[in-house]
Structure formats: structure tokens, C-alpha cells
Amino acid sequence: MEQTLSLATTWAYTFFFAYYPYLAAGIFFCGLAWRLTHENRTVQALSTQFLSNDRSLRWGSNLFHFAVVGVFFGHIFGLLAPEPLYIWLISNETKRTLAVIMGGAAGLVAFIGIALLFVRRFTNERVAAFSTAGDRIVVTLILLQIATGLGGTAVTAVSPLESYLAIDHWAQGLFIFRPQSWQWLLDTSVIHKIHILLGFLIVCIFPFTKLMHMVAVPILYFVRPNRIVNSGGM
């Protein structure tokens, strides 16, 4: 990690990979508290099924949502699990192979899903007409987020193991309030960095968008019969 850095580089890394994540966490938790106490009734992702009950919605939504749950748990384990927790079971090399194969597969399925939803959001006349700026921004950001995540995974597949582990050291350092851990990202690829910055942007906007429906997971949805709001196939 020993490198001579210009003041501007040090400043930029400190801001973007040390302060900004904490700032994003602050905005997230304050926004969450505000939304739940002041705008609780608007916590939802309005269905567009009544506008157009098409195949893109059914396939896109199912592929995206199921795969992104896998991606989420992959991030928690991949980035935040401390080495002593898993090293007795799997080596770091195996962990990276799992990240590339399982993360890559889940990421690819999530990408296909969100790409279908993205195209539908912008090209289906009825859906486009009823979409808000927030709807368009969220679907675009998630598409970019998944694309850059997959790009990062592709880089990881061909990089030395240390480059993969450096990102874990950074994330775990932040988690235990060691902001100097930004230094671990000095040699990380640009695509990984873009992914991290975009990821925290999504964290910042989360409480103010339809993404909030995630905090009100409709568990009963999985067991109750389907509610068809438009069977016309439009």
C-alpha cells in the first residue's frame, strides 16, 4: 500500500471512498426515518400491470427480483464476512471462484431482468406515459449498477487474488470505522470504483424513491393466489 500520492489524489480517495460512504449511510438512515414517519403511506412500488400485462413485465420482474436477492446476500458475505469466519471452510481462492461463478450467474440473470424492465419502461407507450422521473432514474441506475458489477466480476476473474481481497479489506475497514482503509482501493480497477460510487448513490436516493418498497417486503405475496389486474394481454 506504500505509494506517494498527490494531495488531490489523497483528497479524492478520502472523500469518495471514506467520507462519502458514511455520508450515504447518514442520508439513508435519516431519509428512512423521515419516510417512515412522514410519508409512510407512499411506501410502495406502484404496479404497472394494469397498464400493460406483458411478457417483459412477468419475465423481467421475476428474473430481476429473484436474482438480486442472491446478489444482495453475495455482497454481504463476499465483502463483509471476516476471514476467520470462513477460512476454516473455504480458502480465499475458492471464495473468489464462488464470487465469479455464483455472483456472475446471479448478476447475469438480474441484468437480463432489469434490461427487460428498462426497455419496457421507455418503449411501452402506456408505461412510459405514466412513468415519473423517479421511475426512469431508478431503473437506469440499477441497470448501470448491475452492468458495472458484472464488469467488476469479469476483472476479478483475471486479476491476482490480492486485488479481489483488497476490496474486502476496504469494505470491512469502513464497517469497523477505519476510514484510512480507502488506501486498499488504490490499485482497484476503474470499473469497480464506478460500481462502488454508483452503489452509494443508490443508497443515498433509496429512501426517496420506489426502492423503499424493499422495507415492506410482502411476505404473504408468496403464498396468496395471484391477483390478476389485467388479463387482456396488452
Tell the residue number behind the cell numbers 475458492, with chain if given: 94
Judged by CB under 6 A, the residue of 18, 51, 109, 110 near ligand HEM is: 110
Least distance between ligand HEM and beta carbon 56 (Å): 19
How far is the CA of 99 from the CAs of 62, 161, 224, 228, in angstroms? 22, 12, 34, 37
Tell me which of 57, 63, 99, 166 binds ligand HEM, using CB under 6 A: 99
What is the helix (H) or strand (E) element at residue 230, kind and residue range? none
CA distance 89 to 100: 18
**Residue number closest to ligand HEM, CB atom:** 149
Mask 150-189, x = binds ligand HEM (CB under 6 A)? x-xx--x-------x--x----------------------
Q: Pick out residues in 1-30 that bind ligand HEM (CB under 6 A).
A: none
Q: Does 95 bind ligand HEM (CB under 6 A)?
A: no
- Report helix, strand or coil for 136: helix
Shortest Å distance, C-beta 5 to ligand HEM? 22
- Largest Cα separation within the chain, whole Å, is 65
> Quick one: which of 203, 207, 209, 212 contacts ligand HEM (CB under 6 A)?
203
Query: Grid coordinates in use for 17?
Result: 471512498
Which part of the chain contacts ligand HEM (CB under 6 A), choosing from 41-49, 81-89, 117-125, 140-148? 140-148
115 binds ligand HEM (CB under 6 A): no
CA dist 167 and 219 (Å) reads 33
DSSP annotation string for 70-115: HHHHHHHHHHHS-HHHHTTTS-HHHHHHHIIIIIHHHHHHHHHHHH
Interface with ligand HEM includes 106 (CB under 6 A)? Answer: yes
DSSP 131: -
The answer to whether 114 touches 142, Cβ cutoff 8 Å, is: yes
Distance in Å, CB of 83 to ligand HEM, minimum: 16
CB of 127 or CB of 166, closer to ligand HEM: 166
CB of 210 to ligand HEM, least distance (A): 13
Nearer to ligand HEM, 115 or 196 (CB): 196
Give the span between the Cα atoms of 121 and 54, in whole angstroms: 12
In the set 31, 113, 149, 173, which binds ligand HEM (CB under 6 A)?
149
- What Å distances lie between residue 90 and 54, 95, 96, 133, 151, CA to CA? 43, 7, 10, 45, 25
What is the C-alpha separation between 19 and 16, in angstroms, rounded? 6
Contact positions vs ligand HEM (CB under 6 A): 68, 71, 74-75, 99-100, 103-104, 106-107, 110, 142, 145-146, 149-150, 152-153, 156, 164, 167, 192, 195-196, 199-200, 202-203
